[in-house]
């Protein structure tokens, strides 16, 4: 199963809006005879790849898969039926499928006489599929806030200079994060200050994420902006009452695919857009994971709305003492209101430290049940 989880991770960034899935097929003697993972949306599922590699050796053997085999026909056929037709005698899966249209594969397999067991390494497998599970359970994308800062939390010096606080190793890792995300999002402050590009560079085979700029008053994105080139698609989100004549003219002359979406403003006199409406609009476009890269005001708004699921911080061994902070006003006035995270990964990248912490994530339920719902489910220097 751990091997299947490793295989599933190879599909990160290329299977949306579908889940990442890995499968290992063992023969009657318990020897690995087939491996596969879901490589792209609309393509064969993990089980199909693994069964094709196993061939006749799958008969009487065991299929180990990270997600309950699907039970429906979409762009591909049902994996439960493929396993039955291959003569597999036993199926072990990690996470039950909570999606209404695809669940029930375990029952179909059992009714055909296949020995079925669920729940093996369920939490590990769910962690690898957290974006898709969040979308199914909460109807919105999984949100990661990424920032790069000094040890004293500054994203730039007092004069605004920020290149480069972190190392080349950290900046390369940011492109890996982008490649694993369906959308990369910045606010108008970052767009104005940095003119960011937001595309993935130097990650072989990467599927370019949707570049999203929150330009509430349609006052920042103009002709010639780097996000309007043909490197990746772009979406500019504006308030539903914004004057967009100049913006629409820029979009018409864009080299690549660029679109505008109108959304309601944030309520209660708060600045910016309604972030839940923004995530809903992205979800409707098939976005299952969002990487928020900047800036501090936008990140603070996401935290205040309880919409940050994961934080990835790149900390450089540098002190500035003054300058912009990584996080803006998040509506937290006392220590009792602090959002406390769980650190689940620390990695050295050159001289820097990457810290990953989560605010809670969908956890897998025992086989046959639904995963429990979770409480939540910079100015970018790598622009």
Complete DSSP assignment for 186-212: EEHHHHHHH-------S-TTPPPPEEE
Contacts 24+ apart (CB under 8 A), 345-353: 349/166, 349/167, 349/169, 349/170, 349/173, 349/314, 350/167, 350/168, 350/169, 350/170, 351/167, 351/316, 351/317, 352/166, 352/167, 352/169, 352/170, 352/314, 352/315, 352/316, 352/317, 353/314, 353/315
Q: What is the pLDDT of residue 100?
A: 72
pLDDT tens-digit readout, 97-115: 998 766 689 999 999 999 9
Contact 242, 221 (CB under 8 A): no
Q: What is the pLDDT of residue 161?
A: 85
pLDDT tens-digit readout, 280-325: 999 999 999 999 998 899 999 999 999 999 999 999 999 999 999 9
Task: Flag whether pLDDT at 237 surpasses 90.
Answer: yes
Q: What is the pLDDT of residue 75?
A: 65
Task: Flag whether pLDDT at 214 surpasses 80.
Answer: yes
Which of the pair, 376 or 98, is modelled with greater confidence? 98
Q: What is the pLDDT of residue 103?
A: 67
Q: What is the pLDDT of residue 101?
A: 64
Please give the model's pTM, rounded to 2 decimal places. 0.88
Task: Flag whether pLDDT at 366 surpasses 50.
Answer: no
For the chain, list the strands marked E by DSSP.
Answer: 22-26, 32-37, 62-67, 90-95, 115-118, 142-150, 183-187, 210-214, 234-239, 258-263, 289-294, 310-316, 342-349, 352-358
Q: Could you give the angle at the alpha carbon of 292 between the alpha carbons of 290 and 296, nearest 5°? A: 160
Q: What is the pLDDT of residue 179?
A: 95
pLDDT tens-digit readout, 20-65: 999 999 999 999 999 999 999 889 999 999 999 999 999 999 999 9
How many other C-beta atoms lie within 10 A of the C-beta of residue 240? 12
Phi, psi for residue 184 in degrees, rounded to 5: -120, 130
Average pLDDT, the chain: 90
Q: What is the pLDDT of residue 372?
A: 34
Task: Flag whether pLDDT at 245 surpasses 90.
Answer: yes
Share of the chain above pLDDT 70, in %: 92
Contact 42, 59 (CB under 8 A): no
Q: What is the pLDDT of residue 255?
A: 87
Out of 25-29, 46-50, 127-131, 374-378, least confident range: 374-378
**Residue with structure tokens 């959002």?**
339
What pLDDT band is residue 379 in, cutting at 50, 70 and 90?
very low
What pLDDT band is residue 177 in, cutting at 50, 70 and 90?
very high
Which of the pair, 266 or 362, is modelled with greater confidence? 266
Which of the pair, 360 or 28, is modelled with greater confidence? 28
Enumerate the active-site residues. Answer: 47
Contact 359, 117 (CB under 8 A): no
Q: What is the pLDDT of residue 375?
A: 34
Task: Flag whether pLDDT at 380 surpasses 50.
Answer: no
Average pLDDT rounded to a whole number, residues 71-98:
89
Q: What is the pLDDT of residue 104?
A: 84
Alpha carbon distances (Å) from 161 to 317, 322, 342: 17, 12, 31
Q: What is the pLDDT of residue 77?
A: 74
Name the token pair of 349. Answer: 């990248």
């Amino acid at each position: 199963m751990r091997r299947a989880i490793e295989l599933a991770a190879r599909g990160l960034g290329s299977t949306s809006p579908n889940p990442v899935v890995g499968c290992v097929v063992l023969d009657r003697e318990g020897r690995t005879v087939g491996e596969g993972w879901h490589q792209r949306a609309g393509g064969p599922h993990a089980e199909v790849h693994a069964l094709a590699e196993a061939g006749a050796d799958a008969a009487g053997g065991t299929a180990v898969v990270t997600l309950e085999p699907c039970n429906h026909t979409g762009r591909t056929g049902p994996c439960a039926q493929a396993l039955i037709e291959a003569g597999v005698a036993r199926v072990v899966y990690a996470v039950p499928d909570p999606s209404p249209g695809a669940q029930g594969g375990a029952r179909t397999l059992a009714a055909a006489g296949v020995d079925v067991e669920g729940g093996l390494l369920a939490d590990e497998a769910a962690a690898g599929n957290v974006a898709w599970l969040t979308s199914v359970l909460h109807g919105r994308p999984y949100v990661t806030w990424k920032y790069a800062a000094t040890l004293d939390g500054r994203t730039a010096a007092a004069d605004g200079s920020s290149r480069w606080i972190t190392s080349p190793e950290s900046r390369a890792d940011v492109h890996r994060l982008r490649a694993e995300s369906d959308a990369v999002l910045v606010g108008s402050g970052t767009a104005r200050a940095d003119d960011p590009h937001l595309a993935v560079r130097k990650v072989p085979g990467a599927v370019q994420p949707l570049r999203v700029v929150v330009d509430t008053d349609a006052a920042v994105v103009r002709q010639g902006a780097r996000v309007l080139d043909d490197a990746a698609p772009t979406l500019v989100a504006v308030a539903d009452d914004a004057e967009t004549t100049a913006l629409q003219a820029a979009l018409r002359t864009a080299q690549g695919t660029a679109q505008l979406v109108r959304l309601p403003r944030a309520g209660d006199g708060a600045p910016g857009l309604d972030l839940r409406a923004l995530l809903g609009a992205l979800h409707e476009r098939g976005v299952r994971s969002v990487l928020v890269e900047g800036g501090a005001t936008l990140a603070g708004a996401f935290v205040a709305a309880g919409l940050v699921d994961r934080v990835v911080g790149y900390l450089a061994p540098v002190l500035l003492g003054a300058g912009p902070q990584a996080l803006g006003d998040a509506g937290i006035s006392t220590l009792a209101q602090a959002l406390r995270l769980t650190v689940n990964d620390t990695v050295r990248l050159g001289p820097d430290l990457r810290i990953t912490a989560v605010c809670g994530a969908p956890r897998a339920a025992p086989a046959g049940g639904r995963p429990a719902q979770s409480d939540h489910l910079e100015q970018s220097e790598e622009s």
